[in-house]
Structure 1
């Protein structure tokens, strides 16, 4: 029964995130005067559909995606309201809107989590664990951390991000100490297993809490969302450096398992995972890869620079091949997710 409940939760979460993503495309398309033929949540055969005006609305059987079918989206079209005939800036807005809605959803969830949880952690060191290596290599209690390896630290999560994205065992830090900015070269931290056979630095200190105010809550939620965006980019980039591999990716099965594990711990953990999934969907969709919104966006930007479009036929071939490769990757990732679950 528990497994079924987790699957139901996952289907609802994916359904809501897909709906919001497609609604971003739909709303901005309508706002820009683009003709929308169909707004669909899910893929495959339609379970429920109705027509309102020029647009058909449908709920489809497979909860693995959705689409906003716009007139003239995939080729030449003489209709002045076709997507392909609208100004470049309008098409850019429509293409970005889906990812924006996902990231905005992540921000709202994080905002709610912060409002309902304990005081906000600061970036000022309160005390160290016994035998902390960071305190022996330059860091002191009372230091407010300003940056790690050149990356600005705005919130507590930036500290964690700065440590887990490095496996060198030491980082360069900049802190505010006694009102003065101090550079701390080669601050060392203990190493711990990252769960993928590698090592990451672990924090060996805690920070002070700070009182919640409306401005501080909004600011913290904003920078937390930015930190999640950066984490997605860093993880993808580290796949190219060999630190992570395609085998470490998770698909719907793995994400469902992660949500189930989080739900078994606390509602807060579950919503934290959902926020991360929402931000992930938004960021990944903007990658300049064929078949993704980012791939289509790249073609539109090139058209804006060249003052003329790339051949629609060749663009269609690129997206078709990209979609096939994406589906192949999804099958591979899903297979790995199932293998990991069996081995547990």
Structure 2
């Protein structure tokens, strides 16, 4: 039985890890995909999962696929990097022509065995849509037909599109919207997941559900069903407001809590009640009440999005602490995150849903950091473009993102190694 129970746990943990990564990453990529489509940007590839394709289908210019490793997904948008970078000058290329001598298919000679073969001498796949190729008959310039296919391998290809369908050809605000859509989708997902958890667990209200005997609240005459409206003339709208008001004197450095002036609603009438908190051994000020729980979606759903906003602020503060106080030991990579998810899977389904919301929020925040290769890095280049009034050279920007990606991968390897050594 112990072996079976351990096996069941590992299966649940594996399912939880896959589902959390799949949902958080794929919906991030779907945000980019959806806004790109709405902005008129061609999207050649949208994939769920990584690695070899299990199944694929085409709809419009987009190839959709489900792949072997279900730990996320990716989207490829036309013109994120110049299409010219696919064909460096001096590279050997195979090509096929239509009746009008326009290039309709391009690729490596081993993937396009029936095509003509030549050497690239000049290429413009942004404005002129043409290529100069050194052929057996000399250097010839061929127009490239819109949606000509570039062979990624012998069985897979993506289209070459005109400038108006490329990211590079869109106005700044549309490009920014496409990039922001991924993190925004993560924030929305976090709010939705927090709201779903709230609908299951309920949220505390400002109405008293229990008064513990021999406590300040009991001595002051507070009763079950009383609704706390104000504390010290401050409006109380949530349980968090109530708790923070009770702790206010301690936070401000008061040695002993002062009496609190409560305004309580009871039987349709309001009445003042004075209660003095007592200090517990852990240093927390309490008055001895428990809240009633609300399962009303009109309360739980807004509360979920309020939690998302609050946690976003806390995450920003955490990043600040990370930078200013060099607390890099608190960082976790994919292995560390998977370990946290597995621990939550041991505690139950709703804990997994909650940690999925937390991970989604952190994924959105992390991608907004202005580091090359991340969404924030791309937005930084757009801000530079806005300030200087012209675009940064796309090839130079692409090189910066490539270097940033390499550094991120190296950093991820270091963090992963540390996470693995901590686990074992």
Once the two structures are overlaid, the 10-residue window that deviates more, 78-87 or 113-122, is 113-122
- 1:287 aligned to 2:294? no
Alignment of 1:262-301 (within 5 A): 262-301=344-383
Partner residue in 2 for 1:217: 300
Partner residue in 1 for 2:75: 68
Task: Check the 8 A contact 2:192/2:305 in 1, yes or no.
Answer: no
- CA distance, structure 2, for counterparts of residue 110 and residue 285 of structure 1: 20
Change (3 A) 1:145 1:190: farther
Residues 100-159 of structure 1 show CA distances to partners (whole Å, capped at 9, x for unaligned) of: 1111111111111111113424499x989x999xxxxxxxxx79689xxxxxx9755689
Q: TM-score when scaled to structure 1?
A: 0.75
Q: How many equivalent residue pairs?
A: 305
Once the two structures are overlaid, the 10-residue window that deviates more, 48-57 or 109-118, is 48-57
Change (3 A) 1:204 1:178: closer
Cα offset, 1:44, TM superposition: 3.5
Task: Check the 8 A contact 1:157/1:227 in 2, yes or no.
Answer: no
Choose which of 3, 18, 23 in structure 1 pairs with 2:10: 3
* Greater relative CO, 1 or 2 (CA 8 Å, sep 6+): 1
Task: Check the 8 A contact 1:157/1:224 in 2, yes or no.
Answer: no
Partner residue in 2 for 1:85: 169
Cα offset, 1:286, TM superposition: 1.3
Cα offset, 1:85, TM superposition: 0.7
Task: Check the 8 A contact 1:190/1:204 in 2, yes or no.
Answer: no
Partner residue in 1 for 2:86: none
Partner residue in 2 for 1:17: 24
Larger fraction in helix: 1
Unaligned ranges ≥5, structure 2: 1-6, 84-125, 128-162, 217-227, 245-249, 264-278
SS in structure 2 of the partner of residue 35 of structure 1: coil
Q: TM-score when scaled to structure 2?
A: 0.62
Cα offset, 1:48, TM superposition: 3.0
Larger fraction in strand: 2
Once the two structures are overlaid, the 10-residue window that deviates more, 303-312 or 316-325, is 303-312
Cα offset, 1:211, TM superposition: 4.1
**Greater gyration radius:** 2
Alignment of 1:309-328 (within 5 A): 309-328=391-410
Unaligned ranges ≥5, structure 1: 133-141, 147-152, 162-168, 180-187, 192-200
Choose which of 52, 60, 64 in structure 1 pairs with 2:59: 52
Task: Check the 8 A contact 2:345/2:351 in 1, yes or no.
Answer: yes
- CA distance, structure 2, for counterparts of residue 225 and residue 235 of structure 1: 15
Change (3 A) 1:298 1:172: farther
Alignment of 1:156-305 (within 5 A): 170-171=251-252, 177-178=261-262, 208-209=291-292, 211-242=294-325, 245-305=327-387
Task: Check the 8 A contact 1:37/1:54 in 2, yes or no.
Answer: yes
Task: Check the 8 A contact 1:17/1:278 in 2, yes or no.
Answer: yes
SS in structure 2 of the partner of residue 80 of structure 1: helix
Alignment of 1:124-143 (within 5 A): none
Task: Check the 8 A contact 1:289/1:322 in 2, yes or no.
Answer: yes
Cα offset, 1:92, TM superposition: 1.2
- CA distance, structure 2, for counterparts of residue 107 and residue 270 of structure 1: 15
Residues 2-30 of structure 1 show CA distances to partners (whole Å, capped at 9, x for unaligned) of: 22431222112211222211111111111
SS in structure 2 of the partner of residue 296 of structure 1: helix
